[in-house]
A and B are shown apart, each in its own frame.
Chain A
């Protein structure tokens, strides 16, 4: 049986095993996204790429081992490129966690955490289902425009989000969030003034204000 060495750990596997399965056996965590065994062959998202000693990259989900081989699954450069690649993936996602049913079960969100990519709103961690959203109850919650990472502590504790972790800075996500605020009957200026409490001294607040300005201008026009 072929021996596979991943990040220094050696495991023996059946011939034809994927590197991903071998890594699991070896206790090495490799991020993954697109592969669905039996349904999709993978190799599309490229977040599970591993490196051979010769420096060649292969997707762990798709590369099958037939002889003794060695791979690097975690190295700073690999991690950095995975991160850039994942940011690209995220760049074309709408990130409307506030109306998404997946919430905690979302592999994009968990991958973002794993790779240290920011830009996901607190809503992704909110314990309330979209139907019980605080905003629907008339409570001005800043979850839609605040960076996740706090496990939505305030909402879990019965309050609303005050934005302590700082704002989302992607303009298109902010635009959609402000659109949602107005749909739910919140005035843009009231959102901005609530945000001022934590964000007033932040450079990134400028982006929020300019999007908000456009949103309210567009609303009046």
Chain B
């Protein structure tokens, strides 16, 4: 067995899990601290180098996160194993998390002593042998996507940009996501080697009050969306006389289009475990829970493994690092309900009940899990807390705005060139994220709206892209920062349909406990559906607004309280589009099915028959010329023919334009 950084260096070391040393964490990197021995120091230095370049001086990293796995990184991993064997390359093959740059998935990273670390993008298993051969045997990096540094030791270095020169990397501020894609998420050793657990170690030395002071000084606010000051929350829970107390990490990331928590938990799970441990210490809890969304089981897997590892090395359990603090964590996988993201609903779910939220007050800090003081923090908040304890509040507060300090991870999806998760200081503009980092919309299309904050958020028009993103600023425009999901919509998105989509989601996810959310959202959906069918009236818009106000102010929890936002914001910024559906019976974006029809350009039709074969209602038939034609009486405007036509000669036309006679 290889000696790892987490092991004792020699018999003089007194540390054991049963009798832990206070300086265990510092001693890993800068040790030995209790005795002086050059051999023990050398042992550490050599191991750190091994972690960087592998035990044989060469290392291949394949990302294993949900996003990269979906793109086939497992096949790439297997191809790598096969190729190193075949080519006789002496390299350590390991896994990592994900950089958050979905547009290069699946990627691989090669490093070797004297060579620049190189990232290869969109790798297919068949490419692997060639790539390995050119990097490790020919020492040629010219085919790489980016390099991490220049060494002058490889061929073709000048042809490849440095990662730090590329906009989407350079313009980020990697604080809490610093380890994502860099370390092996299943290795506590790598986490500690990258500076992990210094935060907890420091926290245990300064005592809970100073931890809360430090978090309050940093100005950290909840990253789940509500923006409550984290330090204050901890303080309130600490002041409660009742015991035991509980801390919960909210990993129930449910907003469609948001995956920053998943990325963080799959790529750097120990940071979350460390953050939750610090939170438990600060409020005086001895049990923590991590509640993971049902649809993201890999998050749960990684977090469970991280908890086990931490337990194994005494970073969870009894008398952590000799401080007398006992703490353990249980990872709970949800059974699937969006409302679980609401803290009182999550508490009910952990108690094994239906995830029904309950009226606050009392707040969980006073009466939470099993009626005991409980705090619920988003996982990104906790990861921030761990990083703040390690790096200091000043460094964290150095970026951000006057009211909100630090950074936040955002996911930019939809119609952009570079879908991904990006970390930036709070206060940058929406445009910065959408255009400079995500590369803007695909060539030839224009941004129409940006949806921020998921189903609780709103749509802002392209004209407002320069708004800075903060908890408060976006509210003025009818959106919220929320959990940080940003969906870019181009001209081919119908805003009425988009609003309906979000209500489909929230009305299905309404837990049913209170009337305005259960019935009001359904009623609003009905009205939107009527409008998208071209049967709406101006009176409906009035009802819709009135309904939205009632649901917003009368609902029990934040799900209902924010669910009308997509409707209200589109009504505010895109009322013309609603009016086009109502007055002209036209869907300007050509999305709403009842208002459009399809037509085949018979001149350009290649008579392949794909459309007719896939038509669910047999509305397409061959005409005398051998080409195909749509029977508009039978056609249900489903759009399948449009999607399958290999030569794209089927076009959408407004339904009204077809008229009575046959074209």
Assembly CA distance A94 to B358 (angstroms): 28
Q: A46-B556, A58-B359, A63-B359 are in contact. Are A81 and B515 (CB under 8 A)?
A: no
Stretch of A82-90, A118-126, A191-199 with 4 or more beta carbons under 8 angstroms from chain B = A82-90
Which among B358, B515, B523 is the interface contact of A46 at CB below 8 angstroms?
B515
Which chain B residues border A84 with CB–CB below 8 Å?
Answer: 546-547, 550
Residues B513 and A44 in contact, CB atoms below 8 Å apart: yes
Given contacts A63-B359, A89-B519, contact A46 B514 (CB under 8 A): yes
Q: Hey, which chain A residues are within 8 Å of B515, CB to CB?
A: 44-46, 85, 88-89
A62 contacts B359, CB within 8 Å?
yes
The residues of B that contact A43 with a CB separation of less than 8 Å are 358-359, 513-514, 556
How far is the CB of B565 from the nearest CB of chain A, in Å? 17
Q: B549 — nearest CB in chain A belongs to which residue?
A: A81
- Minimum CB–CB distance from B344 to chain A (whole Å) comes to 11
Contacting pair B516 A88 (CB below 8 A): yes
Confirm or deny: B275 has a beta carbon within 8 angstroms of a beta carbon on chain A. Answer: no
A41, A57, A81, A89: residue with the most chain B Cβ atoms closer than 10 Å: A81
The smallest beta-carbon distance between B490 and chain A, in angstroms, is 35
Contacts of A215 in B (CB 8 A): none
Choice from A46, A63, A89, A91 contacting B361 with Cβ under 8 Å? A63
A88 to B550, CA, bound (A): 10
> With an 8 A cutoff between CB atoms, is B564 at the interface?
no
Among B358, B547, B553, which residue has its beta carbon within 8 angstroms of that of A57?
B553
* Contact call B546/A88, Cβ cutoff below 8 A: no
70-118 of chain A: CB within 8 A of chain B: 81, 84-85, 88-89, 91-92
In the complex, whether A140 has a CB less than 8 A from a CB of chain B is: no
The reply to whether A81 and B359 form a contact with Cβ atoms under 8 Å apart is no
Decide: B514 and A88 in contact? CB cutoff 8 A: no
- Tell me how far the C-beta of B307 lies from the nearest C-beta in chain A, rounded to whole angstroms: 34
Q: Which residue of A lies closest to B543 (CB)?
A: A84
Interface SS, A side: mixed
B519 and A91: CB pair below 8 A?
yes
Q: Measured between alpha carbons, how far is A144 from B549 in the docked complex, in Å? A: 33
* Residue A161 CB within 8 A of the other chain: no
Identify the closest chain B residue to A58 (Cβ). B359
Q: Are B554 and A44 in contact (CB under 8 A)?
A: no
Chain B residue numbers with a CB within 8 Å of A92 are 519
Among B358, B516, B546, find the residue whose CB has the most chain A CB atoms closer than 10 A: B516
In the assembly, what is the distance between CA of A188 and CA of B636, in Å?
36
Among B513, B554, B555: residue with most chain A CB under 10 A? B554
Chain A positions within 8 Å of B555 at CB level: 46
A59 within 8 A of B: yes
Which residues from chain A contact B556 at a C-beta distance below 8 Å?
Answer: 43-44, 46
Interface status of B373 (Cβ within 8 A of chain A): no
B116 at interface by CB-CB < 8 Å: no
Partner of B516, one of A58, A63, A64, A85: A85
A58: B residues at CB distance < 8 A = 359
* A residues less than 8 Å from B554 (CB atoms): 46, 49, 57, 81, 85
Task: Write the nearest CB–CB distance from A174 to chain B, whole angstroms.
Answer: 18
Which A residues are CB-close (under 8 A) to B546? 84
Pair A88/B519 contact, Cβ less than 8 Å: yes
B257 interface contact, C-beta 8 A: no
By a CB distance below 8 angstroms, the chain B residues around A88 are 515-516, 519-520, 523, 547, 550
Shortest distance from the beta carbon of A181 to any chain B beta carbon, whole Å: 28
CB distance from B615 to the nearest CB of A (A): 31
Closest approach, in angstroms, between the C-beta of A71 and any C-beta of chain B?
A: 14
Mark B509-528 against chain A: 1 for CB-CB distance below 8 A, else 0.
00001111001100100000
In the complex formed, the residue of A with least CB distance to B515 is A89
Cβ contacts under 8 Å, A85 to chain B: 515-516, 520, 550, 554
Within 8 A of B (CB), among A12-58: 41, 43-46, 49, 57-58
Q: How far is the CB of B33 from chain A (nearest CB, A)?
A: 51
Query: Residue of A at shortest CB range from B512?
Result: A44
B191 CB to nearest A CB, Å: 43
For B361, B515, B547, B555, the residue with the greatest tally of chain A CB atoms inside 10 Å of its CB is B515
Chain A residues with Cβ under 8 A from B513's Cβ? 43-44
Residue numbers in A under 8 Å from B361 (CB-CB): 63-64
Interface residue ranges of B522-559 to A (CB < 8 Å):
523, 546-547, 549-550, 553-556
Q: How far is the CA of A81 from the CA of B552 in the complex (A)?
A: 11
List the A residue with the shortest CB-CB distance to B526.
Answer: A91
Taking a contact as CB atoms under 8 Å apart, the answer to whether A91 and B523 are in contact is yes
Nearest-CB distance from B84 to chain A (Å)?
Answer: 62
Q: Judging by beta carbons under 8 Å apart, are A45 and B514 in contact?
A: yes
Q: How far is the CA of A138 from the CA of B656 in the complex (A)?
A: 52
Q: In the complex, what residues of A have CB within 8 A of residue B523's CB?
A: 88, 91
Complex CA distance for A81 and B520, rounded to whole angstroms = 12
Chain B residues with Cβ below 8 Å from A63 are 359, 361
Further 6 A-B residue pairs, CB within 8 A, beyond A43-B359, A45-B515, A88-B550: A49-B554, A81-B549, A84-B546, A85-B520, A85-B550, A92-B519
A-B contact pairs, 26 of them (CB 8 A): A43-B358, A43-B359, A43-B513, A43-B556, A44-B513, A44-B514, A45-B514, A46-B514, A46-B515, A46-B554, A57-B553, A63-B359, A64-B361, A81-B549, A81-B550, A81-B553, A84-B546, A84-B547, A85-B515, A85-B516, A88-B519, A88-B520, A88-B523, A88-B547, A91-B519, A91-B523
Binding site for B on A (CB under 8 A): 41, 43-46, 49, 57-59, 62-64, 81, 84-85, 88-89, 91-92
Query: Which 9 residue pairs across A and B have the least CB separation, nearest first?
Result: A88-B519, A43-B359, A84-B550, A46-B554, A62-B359, A89-B515, A81-B550, A44-B514, A88-B520
